[in-house]
Amino acid sequence: MTNDPTEVPTFDLPAWGTAGAPDLETEPEVEILVEPATPDDVVVVTTDEIPGRRIVRVVGLVAGEASSPVDGPVEMALRDARAAALGVLRRQAAEAGAGGVVGLDVQISLRKGVVVATAVGTAVELG
24-71 pLDDT, tens digit each: 566 555 554 455 678 888 999 999 999 999 999 999 999 999 999 999
Strands 100-111 and 55-69: unpaired
Residues 6+ apart with CB under 8 A from 78: 68, 108, 115, 117
- The pTM (predicted TM-score) of the whole model is 0.70
Asked if residue 8 is part of any domain, the answer here is: no
User: For residue 112, is it left (φ>0), alpha (ψ between -120 and 50) or beta?
Assistant: left
pLDDT for residue 111: 86
Greatest CA separation for the chain: 75
Domain count for the chain: 1
| Residue 99 within a domain | yes
DSSP category for residue 47: S
Between 6 and 26, residue with greater pLDDT: 26
Q: Establish if 26 belongs to a structural domain.
A: no
